[in-house]
Structure 1
C-alpha cells in the first residue's frame, strides 16, 4: 500500500491562539501511538502565530480515517468549536 501524507493547516481566531495551540498539542502523544501513524508533527508559523500545520505520514488511508474518528479528535473539535478561523487539509502521495 502507498504511504499517505497529510498536510493540515489550522488558523486560529486571533483571540484563540493559545487555546488552539494547547488543544493541538494534546493530539500529538495519543496520535503518535495509533496504528498506522508513522509521523505526526505539529508546527507553528514563525511570522503568523495563528497558523498551525500538521505534517503527517500514515501507512494507509484507512488507518488515517480511523484516526480522524478517534475520541481525542472529537474532544479537540468540541473544545475548539468557534475558535478555528480556517482549516485546510491535503491528502498527498510521496513521489520522490
Structure 2
C-alpha cells in the first residue's frame, strides 16, 4: 500500500476577491470529506492577512488524492475563482519517521 500523503495548499486571493474565494473554498470541504481516501481536509484563513488561505489535507495515498484533483467539485471551484487568485502554492509531503 502507498504511504499516506499530506497536502499543504496555500491560496492567496486578490484583495477584491477575498469573499468569493473564501465562499468557493468552503464549498469544497463537505464533498471532499466524503471522498474515498480523505483523512483530513481543514481550511484555515490567516489572522493578519485575510487574503491568505491554507488547506491542510491528509490522504490515504497519492493515487486517491489524484482522483480528488479531477473531481467535479474541484473543477467547479477552479472555474468559479478564475482570475481571483493572486498566488497558489501546493506542497505534497510525507511524514518523516521518528
Q: TM-score range by the shorter chain?
A: over 0.9
The alpha carbon displacement at 1:59 in A equals 0.3
Aligned twin of 2:82: 81
TM-score (norm 2): 0.96
Q: Shift in Å at residue 62 of structure 1?
A: 0.5
Alignment of 1:32 with 2:46, yes or no, is: no
**Distance of 1:93 and 1:78 partners within structure 2:** 29
Give the superposed CA RMSD. 0.6
User: How much has 1:32 moved relative to structure 2?
Assistant: 0.3
- In structure 2, list runs of 5 or more residues that go unmatched: none
Moved over 2 A (4+): none
Unmatched 5+ residue regions in structure 1? none
Secondary structure in structure 2 of the residue aligned to 1:28: helix
1:4-15 aligned within 5 A: 4-15=5-16
Query: Partners in 1 of 2:7 and 2:78 — Cα distance?
Result: 18
Deviations 1:21-62 (A, max 9, x none): 000000000000100000000000000000000000000000
Distance 2:48 2:4 in 1: 31
Paired with 2:89 and 2:41, the residues of 1 have a C-alpha distance of 16
Q: TM-score when scaled to structure 1?
A: 0.98
Asked if 1:2 corresponds to 2:21, the answer is no
Partner in structure 1 of residue 73 of structure 2: 72
